[in-house]
Chain A
Amino acid sequence: MLRFVGRRALYAVPLILVVIILMFSMLHLIPGDPVQALVGDYPVPPAYRQAIEEKYRLNDPFLVQVSNYLINVAKGDFGFSYQNQRAVLDLILERAPRTILLASVSFALAIPLGMAIGVAAGTTRSAGTDKFWTTTTLIVYAVPTFWLGQLLVMFFALHLGWLPTQGIGPMVSRAQGFAWLLEKLRYLALPVLAFGIHEGMRVARIMRASVIDTISQGYIITARAKGLTRGQIIRRHVLRNSSLPLVTIAGYAFGSALGGAVFLETVFTWPGLGLLLVDSIRLRDNMMVIGVVIFSALAVVAMNLIVDLLYAALDPRIRTVR
């Protein structure tokens, strides 16, 4: 089993390499001055221009440039964001925890919510209940997160005035202890609600399909023949087996969210990686863009590995294969 995961990890390395190389090469596809492309829409002082040209060997052949860039990345040097006056990696590391917080809390809401709906819809004896949930999840999942966010802001923050409209809270807060936590939660509430509902609908749809598949399996008949109650059958035989496909898809969704919940962070001006990416694109700060994209790829690949491990933990058949 460890070998299986190890092999998957090794497989991820070239993938990341290709992403980095592709991103760097794409910059060369843009017509115009490569230095300008790296720095963004700013007047570049000649001294800085020279430093950039030397650092990225922009006058050398393309292959030298790429390998030079790769070496820098391997050393943890993703370059310098001229517009932020910060090292790219620095800024990513500052922003990442906020995105991770947002994504984790949202998924902590989405997964139980979605599983509950999925199981309820998948196991109900009434066609009406099933239809109600399939229709509801279909419609709610079609609501883009950014619009859902706007609706929540307009209702809870502006109309009712219960919660703040945006941001992660005051830079300097006098609140202490529990009050501090409460203040943080007030800022977290709406983004998490929007994200959690959206992802929860995805989870619910996968879960329902998976539950329906599971309950048509023979071992459910066996469980009925044993005289187990409906609740016992669902807890012991349906839940775990129908979570398997969920792990894969929710894992990927979570990995994507780590790479930047772009829309959500924009609606709520939540200063995470997503907002960083969008701002950098608007300002053509390509160093920064490449950095965030590489981080995003890393997040997805890391999540895929965790999914593999989880899968093996849930399904004994995987453990013995290979």
Chain B
Amino acid sequence: MSGVQRDRSEAGTTDAPEAPDAAAPVLLDVGCLKVHLRLGHAVIRAVDGVDFQVRQGECVGIVGESGSGKSTLARGITRLMPNVKIAELSGNLRFEGRDILNMGDRELRTLRRGRGFSMIFQDPLGYLNPTQRVGRQIGEALSQDATTGSYESRVWALLDEVGLPDPKNIARRYPHELSGGMRQRVMIAIALASDPKLLFADEPTTALDATVQLQVLQTLHRLHRERNMAMAIITHDLGVVAELCDRVYVMHTGKVVESATTVELFENPQHPYSARLIDLSTRRISQEHRS
């Protein structure tokens, strides 16, 4: 965390992420999305009427504290809800104009297999199959329409692209034989295998060591630029947002309380909750500096 912040303060605000291209077509359009979960008799309004947009090639941040509904939002949009009882799932959910909320399983799978959206998660160890070699796990995610190169060479190319040295060796390893940072890179390789236009990253660096966090973020940033791939980063860490995102949505108790460009948010937060988040994170950083 501190590494990220320090890096930004070293770089100064002059190197702020490039301004979002307002003319770029909208890739993902979410309108009044509601995801209500059932827990016993209670209904939890985890996501309660959220409007949210991602344009082609831009990087959007979703920030909020734990329990603010930001993860559920990402799971709801990607239709990757874990095994919970859903009380209500409604709203307008369009990816490239296609309605994904009411999309059939088959169509949804096609979208996930190629040129659609992918997702990476906070805990790469839990999200990788412990009994399969990572090469195979990446291989089964490869988009089928791409025809260049053999299966293996494409896996190696992906491992290389996410910055892992010696891809041939890594491909033969099992998840538990890799470090946390390497595992997250494997996760990213899996997500990239389907050539997504949009990548959701749910707390991608939270489980990693401070030094590794920065490296993984830099890799994500590089991939975002090189592939011209849109990203939606879900995080509680404003440092990550400052590092990567063009625009930010601030979430609180299932609602978006503020949406602004990153620069606007940091310079002039409109909602008191946003201001408090910024205040908290700067205070934390100054504390870390002092110690």
Contacts and interface: CB of A to CB of B under 8 A. Distances in A.
B272 interface: no
A223 B187 CA distance: 11
Given A227-B112, A236-B140, A219 B80 contact: no
A240 interface: yes
Contact of A224 (B80, B128, B132, B190): B80
A228 B82 contact: no
A226 B195 CA distance: 11
B65 interface: no
Query: Counting chain A CB atoms within 10 Å of each CB, which of B80, B130, B191 scores highest?
Result: B130
A30 interface: no
B109 A216 contact: no
Contacts of A228: 109, 140
Nearest to B144: A227
B261 to A, nearest CB: 29
Nearest to A224: B80
Contacts of A224: 80, 112
Contacts, number: 77
Interface in B101-148: 108-113, 116, 118-119, 121, 123, 126-132, 137, 140-141
A218 interface: yes
B130 A317 contact: yes
A314 B131 contact: yes
Contacts of B141: 226-227
Contacts of A142: none
Given A218-B127, A226-B141, 8 more contacts: A216-B83, A219-B129, A219-B130, A221-B127, A225-B191, A226-B112, A226-B113, A320-B174
Instruction: Sort A-B residue pairs by CB-CB distance and give the 4 closest, nearest first.
Output: A227-B112, A218-B127, A227-B113, A218-B126
A129 to B, nearest CB: 16
Nearest to B121: A218
A221 B130 contact: no
Contacts of A225: 78, 80, 112, 118-119, 191
A218 B78 contact: no
29 contacts: A218-B123, A218-B128, A219-B127, A221-B80, A221-B82, A222-B187, A225-B78, A225-B80, A225-B112, A226-B112, A226-B113, A226-B140, A226-B141, A226-B193, A227-B110, A227-B112, A227-B116, A227-B141, A228-B109, A228-B140, A236-B140, A237-B132, A241-B130, A314-B131, A315-B130, A315-B131, A316-B131, A320-B174, A320-B177
A124 interface: no
A232 B118 CA distance: 18
B194 interface: yes
A59 interface: no
B284 interface: no
Interface in A279-322: 314-317, 320
A173 interface: no
Nearest to A316: B174
A224 B80 CA distance: 7
Interface of B: 78, 80, 82-83, 108-113, 116, 118-119, 121, 123, 126-132, 137, 140-141, 174, 176-177, 187, 190-191, 193-194
A223 B131 CA distance: 14
Contacts of B174: 316-317, 320
A131 B127 CA distance: 29
A222 B128 contact: yes
A109 to B, nearest CB: 26
A85 interface: no
A176 interface: no
A221 B109 CA distance: 13
A226 to B, nearest CB: 4
B267 to A, nearest CB: 36
A240 B193 CA distance: 24
A316 B129 contact: no
Contacts of A320: 174, 176-177
Contacts of B131: 240-241, 314-317
B243 to A, nearest CB: 24
A217 interface: yes
Contacts of A12: none
Given A226-B112, A226-B113, A320-B176, A216 B82 contact: yes
A229 interface: yes
A316 B175 CA distance: 10
A234 interface: no
A216 B84 CA distance: 10
A234 to B, nearest CB: 13
B180 to A, nearest CB: 14
A215 interface: yes
A201 to B, nearest CB: 25
A241 B118 CA distance: 24
A219 B110 CA distance: 19
Contacts of B80: 221, 224-225
A78 to B, nearest CB: 42
Nearest to A226: B141
Interface in A208-248: 215-219, 221-229, 232, 236-237, 240-241
Contacts of A215: 83
Contacts of B83: 215-216
A222 B190 contact: yes
A221 B122 CA distance: 12
